[in-house]
Chains A and B, each alone.
Chain A
C-alpha cells in the first residue's frame, strides 16, 4: 500500500515538473540618478530544490540597439563579471545563489547606461522558462512623480482647516467651562441659575442691529 502511494507521488511529481517551468523575477523599471549606484535584483521560482549547478546570466541591450551583450555569468559556484565591455570595473555580484538571488550592482551610472537588462536563471534539471527584463532609466534629476505635489498641497490645506475648526471648538468649550467654574466660585448656589442663560448666549453670533 505504502509503496503504491510512493510510486504514484513520484510519477506525479515527475509529470508536474515537466509541465511547470522556471519563472524568473526582476523589477519592471529602475530609476536612478547619474553618478549613483543601482542594484538590479533577479530571483526565480522553481519546483525543484536549488541545485549546486544553478546559473544566473545577465545581458545588456542599450536603448535603440538590436542585440544585447552578455555582461555577467554565475555558474559552477563562480561569478564572472564583465571585464571587457561597457561595465568593466563597475559591476559587482551582490546576490546569494543558494537563496535564489542573482542580483548585481552597477556603480557610477552614466546616461549611456540607459537600456534593458535581461536576467536568465537556470536551475538544473529545471531549465525551461522565460527570462525577465528590467529597464534602467538614468536621470539627471529625479522627476516629480505624478500627483505628489498635488496631493501634498491638498492634504496640508485640508489638514489645517480641520485643525483650525477643532481648535475653535475647543476654545469655545474651554471658555464656556472657565466662565462656568468662575461664576460657580463667586456666586455659589445662586450662580447656577445665571450660568444656564450665560452658557446659551456665548456660543451664538450676537445679533448686530446694523442695517445694510
Chain B
C-alpha cells in the first residue's frame, strides 16, 4: 500500500516537473519567435517592425532599415532582454535542480522569469501605445505582436510556479 502511494506521489511530482519544463520551453520559443520574426505589423505582403521594413515585389524582397524611432529601439532592447532572461532562468533552473538544498525554493529561477515577463510586458505596452501614430491606417498587427502579448502571461505564470515550487525532500 505504502509503495503504491509513494509511486503515485512520485509520478505526480514527475508530471509537475515535466509540465513546468514544457511551459518554460514554450515561453522561450515564443519569445525567440516574437523577437526575431519581423512581423509586428503586416500589410498584405509587406511586413514591418521590429527590425526592418520588407516588401515583397516581383517575386523578391525589398528591405530597408526601420526609420529609427527611439521607442522602437527600446522595444527591440526589451524583447532581446526578455529572451536572454528567460534563457538564463532556464539554465539556472537546471542548475538549481541539482544543487538546491532539499525543500528549498527555486528563488533565482523565479526572479529571472518574472523579470523576463516584466520586460516583455513593457515592450509590448510601448509598442501598442506608440504604434497607432506610426503605422498606416491599412496595417494590421502581425503574429509576432500577438506572440509578444501571449508571452507575458505565460512567463508570469511560469515565474509564479517557480516561486511556489519546492524541491522534493
Contacts and interface: CB of A to CB of B under 8 A. Distances in A.
Interface string B77-103: 110110010000000000000001111
A146 B81 contact: no
B20 interface: no
**Size bracket of the B interface:** 20 to 34
B81 A208 contact: no
Interface in B21-56: none
Contact of A149 (B77, B80, B84): B77
Interface stretch (A22-30, A71-79, A152-160): A152-160
B68 A153 contact: no
A150 B77 contact: yes
Contact of A207 (B81, B84, B101): B101
A207 B70 contact: no
B81 A204 contact: no
B103 A150 contact: no
B68 A144 contact: yes
B166 to A, nearest CB: 7
A187 B129 CA distance: 64
A157 B76 CA distance: 14
B81 A149 contact: no
Nearest to B78: A153
Contacts of B77: 149-154, 157
Nearest to A157: B81
A151 B77 CA distance: 7
B101 A205 contact: yes
A197 interface: no
Nearest to A165: B108
A49 interface: no
Given A144-B73, A205-B100, A207-B102, A153 B81 contact: yes
Interface SS, A side: loop
A196 interface: no
A188 interface: no
Given A154-B81, A212-B166, A204 B74 contact: no
Contacts of A149: 70, 73-74, 77
Contacts of B80: 150, 154
Interface in A129-166: 143-154, 157-158
B103 A146 contact: no
B21 to A, nearest CB: 19
Nearest to A151: B77
Interface of B: 65, 68, 70, 73-74, 76-78, 80-81, 84, 100-105, 107, 164-166
Interface of A: 143-154, 157-158, 204-209, 212
26 contacts: A144-B70, A144-B73, A147-B73, A147-B76, A149-B74, A149-B77, A150-B74, A150-B76, A150-B77, A150-B80, A152-B77, A153-B74, A153-B77, A153-B78, A154-B77, A154-B81, A157-B77, A157-B81, A158-B81, A204-B101, A205-B104, A205-B105, A206-B101, A207-B101, A207-B102, A208-B105
Question: What 9 pairs across the A-B complex have the smallest Cβ distances?
Answer: A153-B77, A149-B73, A207-B103, A205-B104, A150-B73, A150-B77, A204-B101, A150-B76, A144-B68
Given A204-B100, A212-B166, 19 more contacts: A145-B68, A148-B73, A149-B70, A150-B74, A150-B80, A152-B77, A153-B73, A153-B77, A153-B81, A154-B77, A157-B77, A157-B81, A158-B84, A204-B101, A204-B104, A206-B101, A206-B104, A208-B104, A208-B166
